[in-house]
Every structure is written in C-alpha cells, then in structure tokens.
Structure 1
Amino acid sequence: MRDANRSEAAGQAPLLTLSGVHTHIGQYHILQGVDLAVPRGGLSVLLGRNGAGKTTTLRTIMGLWKASAGAITFDGQDITKLATPDIARAGIAYVPESMAVFSDLTVRENLHLAARSGPMDQARVDWIFGFFPALKKFWNYPAGNLSGGQKQMVAIARAIVEPRKLLLVDEPTKGLAPAIVQSLIAAFRELKETDTTILLVEQNFNFVRSLGDTVSVMDDGRVAHAGAMAALAGDDELQQRLLGLSLDSHQ
C-alpha cells in the first residue's frame, strides 16, 4: 500500500521546495541560489563535500539562519520568514549534528518537552524503545550522563515522539558504533513507511545508499545534481565527478 501511495505522490507537488535560496552568515555568502525539491514520502539525501552548504541548508529551512533571498515553501505555505517555533508547529522537526539534548534533564523529560500537543503517547514511546532499547534502560537518567551514541538516540527519539510531516536530520551516524547505526537504519526504514518525509544529511554512504529514495548533491552553496539515489549509487563515474570518490570505496 505504501508503494502505491508513493506512486500517487510522484504526481504531487513536493512537500518542501527551496527556490533560489541565498544565506549569508556574517560576511560569508554560504548558500548561493539553492534550488531543492523534497518529494512527499520516503527519504531524500543531501550529499556534498565538507563546506558545500548542507548544514546551512537545514538550518535555513528551520529558520535558525534566515534566507537573505529566495523562497522556502513547505506543504503549500511560504515559511521563508517564519520564526523557528512556528516552523516547528507547521510539522518540521530538526535533529542537529550536535544532538543538543538537555543534559540536566532525564531522558523522559527530554521527550516530554518535545511532546508539545500533550502527554506522550505510550504506544509511540514503546515503538521508539523497540529501536532504541537503551532509552528504556536509561529512562530516568540525566541525558548528560549518556554516551554520544545514546545522546543521538535521545535526539532522534525527541524529534519523532510525535508524528511530524518532515524530519531534518544532520549526520546521525557520525561517531556511532555499527550496532547503533543498524538501529538507526531500522528506525528510518520504519519511518519511511509512515507519513513522515525525511531529509537527511549524511557522510556514511552505505547508510544513505540503503535508505535514500532521492538525492541532491551540493557544491559551493548550490545543488549541482538531483535525481534518484539508485542512479547515483550505480554510477561510479558520476560519484567521482560529483563527490570525488566512489560509494564502493566505503563498503
């Protein structure tokens, strides 16, 4: 049924669109006319060398840095000038690379704060525990006492404790043990079967190759390539041209 839904979604307008987006941070002109379309459903990947503008793109979408030109449209609404809390209320959640958990609060309290519509849905919490059993074990522990991988689990769990239309995730596997990466793969695969659309920045190419439906490659503050993930994963020459490496070298 989900595949049928995706086929229908293929003819729909993208859930998220960036049109000619520029972002300045101080004197630096980071995004230089980003055009990006994120289809409804599934997982879209944003690739590129370090400094290409991937994280700036996510932060600009979330309103943490303001676009100096261009437009950002989400689910038919212009969100370019909205404040970050309003963007979150529109249905977008953001998991930064830094994780940014509340260290003095327990795991439970971190998730409770993210459940803005009311008490946490215990069935959804149990679903999260299925992917990240360590969170159940450390439920009443201060989040600051957890390992880096466990904090990443808290950050992702906090973003999905309530259903979201769009989940922005910045390099979730960075520094994580292989077993935790496998848990993330399982979590993202199941999220793809819900109504959550995911835009993922990641450097672990095996991770994105197994999950990504579409891919955009950034270079010097612009999108240099956009298409199906399967097409990029199967074309070594294209990988070398766009990324300077082959995905096969990261197996």
Structure 2
Amino acid sequence: MSDGNSPMQRPPLLSLSGVHTHIGQYHILQGVDLDIPEGQLTMLLGRNGAGKTTTMRTIMGLWQASRGEIRFGGEPLNGVATPDIARRGISYVPENMGIFGALTVQENMHLAARSGPMDTARLDWLFEVFPALKKFWKSPAGSLSGGQKQMLAIARAVIEPSRLLLIDEPTKGLAPAIVSALTSAILQLKSFGATILMVEQNFAMARAVGDTVAVMDDGRIVHRGLMADLAADKALQERLLGLSMDMHQ
C-alpha cells in the first residue's frame, strides 16, 4: 500500500477527464483520463502514434477537445485560447523546439520574457541549470548543437515562472552524452519543485527523471503508476511498450 506522501496521492495540478480529440476525420484521443500531480515529473509513454503529442497539443489548446474536461488548478481549460493558457502558467516545449535560429541566445530569451525585462536572479538560476546558455549568450541560436538548442528551448519556456511545463521528446536525435547532460538539467529543474509532463522515447532517461508514469495506446491511457514500479517490471514494459527498458541503457 502506498503511503500518504506518495506522488500518486497528491492532488493533481492538471486533470484530463474523458478527453476526446478529433483532427479532421481522425479520432485521435478516445477518452483520455490523466492526472498530473503538483511538484512531480510525470512521464507520458507509448508507442509511436499512440496520441502523446496530441495530448500535449490539446492541453495547450492548439487542438480543441471535442469532448471531456480539462482542468488546471481546478479551473476549466476547455475553449480557452492558447495565449491565455500560457498566461495561466502552462509552458510548452514542442518536439521541434520552436527557437529562432537567426537570433542570438540572448534575443531568444528576451522574446520569451513576455512580461518585460528578464529577472536577473531567475536568469542566474537558468545559467546554473543550463551553463551552455551563458557560454553562447551572444551566439546565433542556429549555431548551437542539438542538445544546446533543446536546453535553450526549455530555458525559454521557464524564463518566466510557470506552474506546469510540458516537454515533448527532448532527447530525440541527441547523442548519449548530450542526453546525459539534458537529464541532469531536468533533474535540477525537478529539485526546484517544477511540475513537468514529459513525452519521451528514451526509457533510461524516463526511469532517471520520472516520478509517475502514464502509458498511452490507441488514444487512451492504459496504465498509470509510479515510474519506479514500471522500471522494475520487465514483463509490464514489454506488454505496454513492446520492449524492455534494459534495451535502452
């Protein structure tokens, strides 16, 4: 039995109840039920095409739920415009990162600071978490490595305080050494109490950073639990994901 301090016992910051999303003629999300506990990192796993990115984009209002309810901090998000969702405190790092390659790192960060000049103390904190940002502050963002661009994308998302950070496949296409550096950065964000929902295909990273996990298949959540429990159960990994985490060290 879980104790009262288990992350699964904490009230959710974000909740999806029976959420359906149609994109044209395609019925992608088919009744998603998902709770994101505050102060935890929730991994959203599943095979390609399971609906993970659609879930992220539906939360952000980029695609509208056709049925069901999305609540953030107890307030409904259904029908709220994407800029207003961002203003309520949800930041999104899409798979394509969304940085401006022709602008410097500094200029990218200034653009992300919607409310005015960047807070110096917060910027110093981000330099601690992502040292490459300080090193390449005056360099064009397009000249950064893939891992550095991903770190810039995450830093842009949190330059202003946010209550929830959505990150879609941050390690896609990155070399193992860069994945290790990015994992360390995510762990630092966690240590400061960030609430994160992350889609990731690198199971070693998922095991390293995840507190809770939800697994999607065919537009539905088919498993919820602690990340550590899934990481310890090879048979469950193979049943839900088609392979073992041991293959992804």
Pairs within 5 Å for 1:49-128? 49-128=47-126
2:131 is aligned to 133
The residue aligned with 1:3 is none
Secondary structure of the 2:5 match is helix
One-letter code aligned to 1:176 = L
Report runs of 4+ in structure 1 exceeding 3 Å deviation: 8-12
Report how far residue 173 of structure 1 moved. 0.8
**Counterpart for residue 167 of structure 2:** 169
Query: For the Cα contact (< 8 Å) 2:7–2:211, is it kept in 1?
Result: no
- Runs of 5+ consecutive residues of structure 2 not aligned to the other structure: none
The residue correspondences of 1:11-50 to structure 2 (distance < 5 A) are 11-50=9-48
> What letter corresponds to residue 230 of structure 1 in structure 2?
A
* Superimposed CA distance per residue, residues 46-105 of structure 1 (whole angstroms, 9 cap, x where no aligned partner): 000000000000010011111111110001110111000000011100000101112232
1:238 aligns with 2:236: yes
Query: Structure 2: how far apart are the matches of 1:79 and 1:196?
Result: 20
Alpha-carbon contact 2:15-2:71 (below 8 Å) kept:
yes
Q: Percent identity?
A: 68
Q: CA deviation at 1:181?
A: 1.8
1:12 and 1:152 mapped to 2: Cα distance? 30
- TM-score normalised by the chain length of structure 1: 0.93
Read off the aligned partner of 1:190 and give its amino acid letter.
Q
Say what the alpha-carbon RMSD is for the aligned residues. Answer: 1.6
1:170 and 1:121 mapped to 2: Cα distance?
26
Alpha-carbon distance in structure 2 between the residues aligned to 1:41 and 1:94: 17
1: CA distance, partners of 2:208 / 2:32? 26
- Equivalenced residues, count: 246
Gaps of 5+ in 1: 1-5
* 239 and 79 in structure 1: CA distance in 2 versus 1, 3 angstrom threshold: same
Q: Identify the range of structure 1 (104-113 vs 167-176) with the bigger mean alpha-carbon deviation.
A: 104-113
Letter in 1 for 2:144: L
